[in-house]
Amino acid sequence: MRPTGPLHLGHLVGALKNWVDLQERYDCFFMVADWHALMSEYERPAEIREYSRQMVRDWIAAGVDPKRSVIFRQSDVSEHLELYMVLSILAPLGWVERVPTYKEQLREVKGRDLATYGFLGYPVLQAADILLYKANAVPVGEDQIPHLELTREIVRRFKFLYSSDIFPEPKPLLTQEARLLGVDGRKMSKSYDNFIALSEEPDQIRKKGQKMFTDPQRIKMTDPGHPETCNVCHYWEVFVPEQAPKVWEECRASKRGCTQNKQELSEHLIRLTQRFRTQREKVPDDEVERVLAEGAQKARQVAQKTMREVRQAVGLG
């Protein structure tokens, strides 16, 4: 995850919940992608360090367990850049240019100049992040599928060029809630300013809740609602599943207006974020630094071993 801002509800349901479950079945590596953050924030990098710390605190609060999983910061393990260099050399320009998120971000992200040499290499660095640990599987949202496909293509090309089998082809572990929409109906994202942060104050949640898009076909309260096309109703399913059937039924039967629906949902979201905040306050300040230092050590061990094999394969050193 990139430390470019506070974590939001999309991160909680789209990534963190899944991560916590995966710890039961896999040896997991969770990375603070601060090099990736720098690619978009290079003009104002001052906050990356602080966001990194806050993010790890949020992970621990959500249940990511540093005793079971390796939690580390990308820039603490310089092998990421070494492997990135090797992969950049062999990744054809056409492959990188056709990654759909590249053009989308250039178009959609405002206030940042992403037309840089480095930003084009974003998914190649991601491939290095994955392959350095010989990951068999990567938990991703659907938007990341093309990046994982590029990683798989790079693995095949590496194998073809150097007759080397050191990298497995990683498969995606798709998250159930892979695309939570924000208050404006686009994917919830730090870049679009349409998010509800996990650290959001109650009044802000109420304000943002009121702004949410509902069923466009429902003009008056007496019109029957279509909960399946309403983002607010979808939030009920995701965040308050036990009450969602009743809410959906009332919406269809015009017994529940959109304003009431948003107000009640906001109160649920406030309770959820407050529970989260209580957990977060239990994580002591120095814990994050300790976790990152230990994580870097464990990650480095694996990364160095892989890089020895890579250098051997490509004929360096």
14 sits near ligand AMP (criterion: CB under 6 A): yes
User: In this chain, which of 66, 121, 141, 225 binds ligand AMP, going by CB under 6 A?
Assistant: 141
The piece of 10-18, 93-101, 204-212, 269-277 that touches ligand AMP (CB under 6 A) is 10-18
Contact 120, 102 (CB under 8 A): yes
- What span, in angstroms and rounded, lies between the C-alpha atoms of 73 and 292? 7
Q: How far apart are CA 220 and CA 257, in angstroms?
A: 9
Per-residue binding letters, 159-188, with ligand AMP (x by CB under 6 A): ------------------xxxx------xx
Site string for ligand AMP, 186-215 (x = CB under 6 A): -xxxx-------------------------
Phi-psi region at 95: left, alpha or beta (left = phi > 0; alpha = psi -120 to 50):
alpha
Cβ-in-10-Å burial (0-12, 13-18, 19+) of 260 comes to: middle
Stretch that binds ligand AMP, among 7-15, 52-60, 166-174, 283-291 (CB under 6 A): 7-15
Nearer to ligand AMP, 169 or 177 (CB): 177
In whole angstroms, the minimum distance from the beta carbon of 100 to ligand AMP comes to: 14
| DSSP H or E stretch at residue 10 | helix 9-11
DSSP code for 171 = E
Hey, what are 74's tokens? 């990308």
Identify which of residues 59 and 248 has a Cβ nearer to ligand AMP in the complex: 59
Q: Give the interface with ligand AMP as residue ranges (CB under 6 A).
A: 1-2, 10-11, 14-15, 140-141, 143-144, 177-180, 187-190
